[in-house]
Structure 1
Amino acid sequence: MADLSIEFCGIKAPNPFWLASAPPTDKAYNVVRAFEAGWGGVVWKTLGEDPAAVNVSSRYSAHYGKNREVLGFNNIELITDRSLEINLREITQVKKDWPDRAMIVSLMLPCEEHYWADILPKIEATGADGIELNFGCPHGMPERGMGAAVGQVPEYVELVTRWCKQHTRLPVIVKLTPNITDVRKPARAAKAGGADAVSLINTINSITHLDLDRMVAFPIVGNASTHGGYCGSAVKPIALNMVAEIARDPETHGLPISGIGGIGNWRDAAEFIALGASSVQVCTAAMLHGFGIVKEMKDGLSRWMDEKGYANIAAFSGKAVPNTTDWKYLDMNYAVIAQIDQDKCIKCGKCYVACEDTSHQAIARLVSETEERTYEVIKDECIGCNLCEITCPVEACITMVPQQTGKPYMNWTQDPRNPRAENVATETPERVLI
């Protein structure tokens, strides 16, 4: 059976599934229930200076799909609103009772060294395994010069990280904001400051929806609202990209990554790990479905690893990174064409409508004498865009079939159709896809 245990920048845990710093990790009661359910670790909800932050009501809103499925989750809650003394006492007791679980403490303080120098020895005294610097909170705290206000300025990221490395022996994990143009820059700054690892992504600035009668966004506080932090399954594609960017960046390559953002099942976790993460953090899925989801996550991941022959997490961590490159290095001569399995086709016509109205008119709608409809791909018109496959409601009914073009690998830097080909043809790709 596959070994799910990990060691993340020196921190050991029985599995890679950790709860992210958020409401589920705000107090001992929650964390103990999580450990009893089988979570491998937690990042305790962000601690700050006393007096504690004051939160508003209400705090959450959602972006819904069909049947009120929560696709994205928005919150305007701040860091812990409980005193530092209570939090430290509870962290100490929980770590004592659960010594085999990873206990990371999230921190957010003003950008003055003495604040960090004062709190870090207190965190060490709890027996915690590491700290996570919250440089990502997008609401409430940035107005006070903390959270994303730090994470958006690489110089500040490096500065505070260096302070922490000077004042603690614990591993320092820097949590990055996605509300930035290029996530690699703060990641590089964190590494320059001595960070042992990075975690990402924190939440994305968002407004989910409005009450059009009252003309105010949700969540509503009195007669007003504000932007909040967006998380949940909807942010997963953004998070995966940012994790991959850091994993394949030559300047941060090898820096341990804790992946966060829309992880709700074992497959999501496996994708983050394959793109360079060696632990994953979960929040929204636990809030929507409870701590018990970790059992299925562990079981599913273990079964998949056994099937693929991966003995441990390290065996496939980062395995997809070499296959992720810049667009200009993709093979311009590679081609696929859609193919419809007529035995699986339910004749709904969604592929035809999508292709006819918005793509390349590459699907023919045929009607027999008995008025039976059939949809067939017009091969000479198909460009292999995948739209028909995406719109088809039947799994594996439409597949994209590779074509033998007889042409060698050629990327955009080599393509004669590129008006700047002569200027860039000498560039060396990070990895050539064959």
Structure 2
Amino acid sequence: MADLSINFAGIKAPNPFWLASAPPTDKAYNVVRAYEAGWGGVVWKTLGEDPAAVNVSSRYSAIYGKNKEVLGFNNIELITDRSLEINLREIEQVKKDWPDRALVVSLMVPCEEESWKYILPLVEATGADGIELNFGCPHGMPERGMGAAVGQVPEYVEMVTRWCKTYSKMPVIVKLTPNITDIRGPARAAYNGGADAVSLINTINSITSIDLDQMVARPIVGGRSTHGGYCGPAVKPIAMNMVAEIARDPATAGIPISGIGGIGSWRDAAEFIALGASSVQVCTAAMLYGFRIVEEMKDGLSRWMDEKGYNSIADFSGKAIPNTTDWKYLDMNYKVIAQIDQDKCIGCGRCYIACEDTSHQSIANLLQDNGTHKYEVKEEECVGCNLCQITCPVTDCITMVPQDTGEPYMNWTQDPRNPFREAS
């Protein structure tokens, strides 16, 4: 049976599934329930200086699918609104009671050396396994010179990280903001500052919807609103790209990565791990479905690893990175064309409409004697874009079939059609 245990930057946990710093980890009651449910670790909701932050009401909004499933989740909640003393006392007790689980403390204090020098020994005294520097919160805190206001400036990231390594012996994880042009900049800064690991992504600046009667964005606070932090399934593609960018950057190669962003199943976790993560953090899915989702996550990941012959998380962490490259290195001579399985086709015509109206007019609409329609791919016109496959509602009805072009590998830097091609 697969071994799900991990050693993340010196922090041991029985499995890679951690709760992210958020409302689910705001107090001992929640964290103990999470451990009882089987979570391998938690990142305690961000601590700050006293007096504690004050939150507003309401705080959440969402983007929904057709069946009311939450696709994206938006929040304007700040860091913990409980005192530093209460949080530290609870952290110490929880760690004593659950020594085998990872307990990382998220921190955010002003970008002043004395503030960090003061709080770090207090956290270390609790016995916590490590700290996560919250350089990503996109609302409320940046106006105070914290959160994303730090994470968007690599020099600040490196400076604060170095302070933390100077005044603490705990592993330092730097949580990165996605609200930046190139995630590699702050990741490199964290690495240069001595970070033991990075975690990403934090939430994305967002306004999810507008109440068109009141003419105000949601969530509504006394008739007004503001942008918040976007998370949930909708951000997963963005998060995975940023994780991969760091994992394949020579300047940060090998730094442990905790993947965050839209993880709600074992498959999501496996995908993040394949792109270089060695632990994953979950928030939105736990808030929507409760802590017991971790049971299915652990079971599913373990079964899949057994099926693939992976004995540990390390066996497949980063395994997809060698196959992730820049567009210019893709094979220009590789070709696929669509193929429709007529036995599975239900004749809905969605592939035809999509291709005819918005793509390459590569599907023929043939009227049959019985009045039904048959759809066939015009192979000579098909460019292999796979729009038809995406629009088809029937699994495996349309497949993309590789073609033997007889041509060798040739990327864009070598292509004679590229006026700026590189010399061989």
User: Matched residue pairs, number?
Assistant: 424
SS of the residue corresponding to residue 339 of structure 1 reads: strand
Counterpart in the other structure of 1:150: 150
**In the aligned structure 2, how far is the partner of 1:105 from the partner of 1:327?**
39
Distance in 2 between residues matched to 1:413 and 1:7, nearest whole Å? 41
Partner of 1:276: helix, strand, or coil? coil
1:101-145, Cα deviation, whole Å (9 max, x unpaired)? 000000001010011111111111111000000000000000000
Q: What is the DSSP-based 3-state SS (H/G/I as helix, E as strand, rest coil) of the residue aligned with 1:68?
A: coil
Deviations 1:309-331 (A, max 9, x none): 00000000000000000000000
Aligned mates of 2:77, 2:90 — CA distance in 1: 21
| Counterpart in the other structure of 1:21 | 21
SS at match of 1:159: helix
1:281-312 deviations in Å (ceiling 9; x for gaps)? 00000000000000000000000000000000
**Does residue 1:351 correspond to 2:346, yes or no?**
no
Counterpart CA distance in 1 for 2:306 and 2:343 is: 33
Shift of 1:14: 0.2
Residue 337 (structure 1) aligned with residue 337 (structure 2):
yes
**Cα distance in 2 for residues equivalent to 1:341 and 1:35:** 48
The residue aligned with 2:269 is 269
Residue 165 of structure 2 corresponds to: 165
SS of aligned partner of 1:66: coil
Residue type at the aligned position of 1:216: V
1:365 paired with 2:381, answer no
User: Residues of 1 paired with 2:55 and 2:279: CA distance?
Assistant: 30
* Correspondence for 2:229: 229
Q: CA deviation at 1:367?
A: 1.1
Match of 1:316 in 2: 316
Alpha-carbon distance between aligned partners in 2 of 1:221 and 1:312, rounded to the nearest angstrom: 47
Instruction: State the distance in 1 between where 2:252 and 2:226 align.
Output: 35
Superimposed CA distance per residue, residues 69-113 of structure 1 (whole angstroms, 9 cap, x where no aligned partner):
100000000000000000000001111110000000000010100
1:219 partner SS: coil
Equivalent position of 1:79 in the other structure: 79
3-state SS of 2:173 partner: strand
Which SS does the other structure have where 2:297 is aligned?
Answer: helix
In structure 2, the residue corresponding to 1:67 is in which secondary structure? coil
Cα deviation for residue 395 of structure 1 reads 1.0
Partner AA of 2:229 in structure 1: G
SS in 1 for 2:67: helix
How do 1:236-255 and structure 2 match up within 5 A?
A: 236-255=236-255
Distance 2:264 2:396 in 1: 23
Partner in structure 1 of residue 68 of structure 2: 68
Deviation at 1:194, TM superposition (A): 0.2
Provide structure 2 residue ranges, at least 5 long, that are not aligned to the other structure. none
CA distance in 2, matches of 1:275, 1:9: 17
- Once the two structures are superposed, what CA deviation does each residue of 1:31-54 show, in whole Å capped at 9, x if it has no partner? 000000000000000000000000
SS of equivalent residue, structure 1 residue 400: strand
Deviation of 1:425 after TM superposition, in Å, equals 3.6
Matches within 5 A, 1:414-425: 414-421=414-421, 424-425=422-423
Q: Corresponding residue for 2:390?
A: 390
Letter in 2 for 1:118: Y
The offset of 1:67, in angstroms, is 1.5
Instruction: For residue 219 of structure 1, report the CA deviation from its aligned partner.
Output: 0.1
Separation in 2, partners of 1:397, 1:187: 42
Query: After TM superposition, what 4+ stretches of structure 1 lie above 6 angstroms from structure 2?
Result: none
1:93 and 1:365 mapped to 2: Cα distance? 69
Which residue does the alignment assign to 1:174?
A: 174
Distance 2:394 2:167 in 1: 57
* Aligned counterparts of 1:393 and 1:95: Cα–Cα separation in 2: 49
Query: Does residue 8 in structure 1 map to residue 16 in structure 2?
Result: no
Partner of 2:327: 327
| 2:41 corresponding residue in structure 1 | 41
| 2:200 corresponds to | 200
Structure 2 counterpart of 1:183: 183
Distance in 2 (alpha carbons) for counterparts of 1:347 and 1:37: 46
| In 1: Cα distance, 2:391 partner to 2:217 partner | 31
Q: Distance in 2 between matches of 1:349 and 1:368?
A: 14
The match for 1:216 is 216
Match of 1:301 in 2: 301
SS in 2 for 1:379: coil
* Structure-2-length-normalised TM-score: 1.00
Between the aligned partners of 1:14 and 1:340, the Cα distance in structure 2 is 46
- Name the CA distance, whole Å, in 2 between partners of 1:126 and 1:42: 15
**Rounded Cα–Cα distance in structure 2 between residues aligned with 1:3 and 1:401:** 37
CA distance in 1, matches of 2:91, 2:183: 31
- What is the alpha-carbon root mean square deviation over aligned residues? 0.5
- What is the rounded CA distance, in whole Å, between the counterparts of 1:336 and 1:12 in structure 2? 45
Aligned residue number for residue 88 of structure 2: 88
- Counterpart of 1:281 in structure 2 is 281
Deviation of 1:369 after TM superposition, in Å, equals: 1.0
Deviation at 1:20, TM superposition (A): 0.1
Aligned equivalents of 1:207 and 1:220: distance in 2?
11
Distance 1:176 1:222 in 2: 32
Deviations 1:163-182 (A, max 9, x none): 00000000000000000000
Matched to 1:349, the amino acid is: G
> What is the alpha-carbon distance in structure 2 between the residues aligned to residue 392 and residue 269 of structure 1?
27
